[in-house]
Structure 1
């Protein structure tokens, strides 16, 4: 079978529901690590803190510093007092946001939602401006004060649909280096890093470099077309600064490896590399890059990633680096060894 003829079924695997991690481990870097050689297909069972054995002086570890917004808001419709739920997807401009609303049919254009315990004196209100094709809406918020502070007070962390448990500590769905508000979901490969482990990595002569990609909920959207070429990717906003680009170009010139933390870092680096013929430059914009088998890599030499949903674009991305057979063998091993899967689960280190 040639790379061009892979179908959705080729990226399926059986996952017992019990292996979907519902809560994070107490110690971030104590998660397990499956280290996979993408060339030979050989793998080793380790722990995340053993990442020190796989990085070397002169390498760069790239991390996405986007911070998850407490993007799920519970409000009421003033006409009826009925419950309304608003999920922020992305800021369009000013106080206008693209959102998902429940119940969508009871929130027509021009209708209002109020937020806060007192409907007569709400903390914040929103007006529906527009219905969007995919079922979302454009709404405009009205408030006094600072929006992000009010969001912290009113909002909840929008955990993925496969996590049923309440999160005791909201910060466990943030990376320790998160600082730029804007994501609707966490860049979860980064959840394994601790400040102490990053210090040890730097002490070994490895550079740590930050970029930003705001993760959209499209990351959870299932692929429905059996012909994967027909799948339309969601867009996400990214940014790489001039200083970060310079650091990474120096690492490459000196023979070091670019090691991405997570598929969001990969998407940013490969978007920019594809745009500038393999070079890294300061850049920002929207990317809908779809990395799947057959893709020609331009920047990333190795990466850390979690275990992804069956038949997802993220499994396809990893397969583009390892080949389908190697990644599927590794996933079957992880299931047999009862690794923990998805957002709060264990990690892989994939290298050549």
Structure 2
């Protein structure tokens, strides 16, 4: 139960409830004039037909994606919603309130022009007027299928929490997978280049912010944040090229691989603890939030980033590129690395983050 409450006591659950009308209806045999010899539904599905222009509906999908990105900036998917640190719940709620106003405004505008838009759609497809008109739904019905809702709740385990502990223990892997998706934006920033455009630093910083805010979830996350901070601290004011560019490329490769991130974090955490964690570690420490599998040693030992080698990040870059030779720095040993402060509160608008994730 400790593992569960250690996390649930520090997170707020954000639930999104966004409904968007598809603008489609089931395609029927009579629409295609197939006659009576039509395969049964158990065998063949005829698909769907559009009963209105899909373009006006795109704005609703964009707002929904914006809401998801807002939650994922400093949160992670959990129990059908998003787990976010308590400190960010209020600012996320404010951002979602703004998006709800936009969604509701767009809904009223869409419904006001609904009939006119239908006639334009039909006029562009005169040969299909009859099947389209058969499927038309009145504006008041369509209006019930456009909704933006959200709930901000605290959760606490019941005496019999079911599989909640498994869900909690999987949070770290989920965070690494989400970061892997974010790091795809960096794919074109290094290949075939000699200098790193500073615009790419925005992606690095968004990744760092997300990891820092959620580092209490999994002990493997904090070392990855340290790795990013170390690289940021050594960035020059001028062009980012040469060894620091190569190190950034290695860092991008690390972030783009969830399993490698997990190994790196586990290895660095083990170094900070003076060796690999054992089964006898106290259960009441933060280090036990997500226990490492017992087979981790065997799996990692075969990797160039083996945790038993006690490499720091620069040594890992040497393993990746065989270009740099650096001695392993002394690492301050501590039982519980402090939870890093988030770089900034969630205050980006949808436009600021448009397209960066998912």
What TM bracket, shorter-length normalisation? under 0.3
Q: Report the TM-score, using the length of structure 1 for normalisation.
A: 0.24
* Higher strand residue share: 1
* Higher helix residue share: 2
